[in-house]
Amino acid sequence: MLATKNITAEELYKKLKNIKIGGTFCHFSLKKCQQMLPLIHEILELKEKKNAIILTHTYVSPEIIYSVGDFVGDSFELSKKAMETRATTIVFTAVRFMGETAKILNPDKEVLIPSNYNGCDLADDITAEKVRELKKQFPDYTFVCYINTTAPVKAECDVCVTSGNVYKVVERIPNDKIYFLPDEMMGLNLIEEFKKKDIKKDIKFYTGSCCVHKEYTLEDVLRDRIHYPKAQIISHPECKPEVCQNSDFVGSTSQMLNYLKDTSAEQFIVLTECGLSARVKAEHPDKNLVGMCTLCPFMKANRLEDILRVLKNPTNQDRVILDKTTIEKARRCLEKMFEYSK
């Protein structure tokens, strides 16, 4: 549990003061913490009264993670947490597809999304109708979707994967013909990984991409290698294959954080959204980060004000509402992931 009911402005400031990245999103003063405190206390009280849990993705603004968040993690960890919780309301502070995943796994719970601007480049890249078309075109293929997809898209697919288990899950699928969607970069990374391990599968992929991760180029990596020869470069599998190939470690946001925590390099460069660098600064201030990071506008659209609003007075737009058939079919796709990733 991250949130503590009687948190003071000083305690919050202590946690946030080292974070100086991502412009105004991630710069904190004691005064700013003092100003946020009444709002934070109101959320914490209401959360308890409503038996709610606040799940936060690493990419959301740090004042949310460290003041009202009960759990922070990557998409796989968050979906597991959503499955285990006894709370009757889940406030999912991330992007809509993650809230939908929580609803698929907890159809009887109320799942609330506090952001009004909660798309995701990848999830918005493909529709269920397009998947149905592709399935007609490639009838012998197992359709594998990245968790960054809408519930109706999951409902059309056979197996789901996350950035943390994609290689393991696809390797274990008994069919050698795989159609992977929607992330082209992850599809290409999958092909490269299987080539390295001499795993023979025919992998086709869709052409989606993430605006945050596609920004990083091989030129950035090669330049950083010259400027920071002692730095380890860590990247996310949504990055381009040539970026991943030239990184020291590739993994989900939580795997990246764990790698960094357990590695004694002099410097690190993390090629992902700024939220990960913020967590490193807050939780491992001794680690030396260099280089740049990129902001995800969708994740950063979550605000404390909206968390309070949805707890107080949720509208149907704030609720995740899915029909029974979509939930049942999408759940099967997620359960296959849990089965293959054991």
Kindly list the residues in this chain that would bind ligand SF4 in the complex (CB under 6 A). 95, 120-122, 148, 210-212, 238, 273, 296, 298-299
Helix (H, G, I), strand (E, B) or coil at 22: coil
Taking the complex as a whole, the smallest distance from the CB of residue 299 to ligand SF4 amounts, in Å, to 5
Sequence letter at residue 15: K
| Nearer residue to ligand SF4 within complex by CB, 121 or 156 | 121
Helix (H, G, I), strand (E, B) or coil at 112: strand
Taking the complex as a whole, the smallest distance from the CB of residue 89 to ligand SF4 amounts, in Å, to 23
| Nearer residue to ligand 13P within complex by CB, 12 or 270 | 270
- x/- map, 3-42, ligand 13P, by CB under 6 A: ----------------------------------------
- CB-CB contact of 175 with 141 (8 Å): yes
- Phi, psi at residue 304, to the nearest 5°? -55, -40
- CB-CB contact of 160 with 145 (8 Å): yes
- CB-CB contact of 254 with 77 (8 Å): yes
Q: Site for ligand 13P (CB under 6 A): which residue of 253, 277, 302, 326? A: 253
| Nearer residue to ligand SF4 within complex by CB, 148 or 302 | 148
Taking the complex as a whole, the smallest distance from the CB of residue 75 to ligand 13P amounts, in Å, to 3
Taking the complex as a whole, the smallest distance from the CB of residue 255 to ligand SF4 amounts, in Å, to 15
| Nearer residue to ligand 13P within complex by CB, 210 or 337 | 210
Helix (H) or strand (E) run with residue 219 in it: helix 218-227
Task: Name 70's Cβ contacts closer than 8 Å, sequence gap at least 6.
Answer: 1, 2, 3, 53, 54, 55, 56
- Phi, psi at residue 180, to the nearest 5°? -105, 135
Helix (H, G, I), strand (E, B) or coil at 143: strand
| Nearer residue to ligand 13P within complex by CB, 61 or 148 | 148
- Residue 100, interface with ligand 13P (CB under 6 A)? no
- Residue 75, interface with ligand 13P (CB under 6 A)? yes
Burial of 140 by CB count in 10 Å (0-12 exposed, 13-18 middle, 19+ buried)? exposed
Residue 331 interface partner, choices ligand 13P, ligand SF4, none, CB cut-off 5-8 Å depending on type = none
List the interface residues with ligand 13P, window 111-150 (CB under 6 A): 148
Taking the complex as a whole, the smallest distance from the CB of residue 274 to ligand 13P amounts, in Å, to 12
Residue 211 interface partner, choices ligand SF4, ligand 13P, none, CB cut-off 5-8 Å depending on type = ligand SF4
Taking the complex as a whole, the smallest distance from the CB of residue 275 to ligand 13P amounts, in Å, to 9
Nearest by Cα to 286 from 311, 265, 255, 313:
265
Nearest by Cα to 141 from 160, 157, 161:
157
Sequence letter at residue 167: Y
Neighbours of 116 (CB within 10 A): 12
Residue 121 interface partner, choices ligand SF4, ligand 13P, none, CB cut-off 5-8 Å depending on type = ligand SF4
Contacts with ligand 13P, residue ranges (CB under 6 A): 58, 74-75, 148, 162-163, 210, 236, 238, 252-253
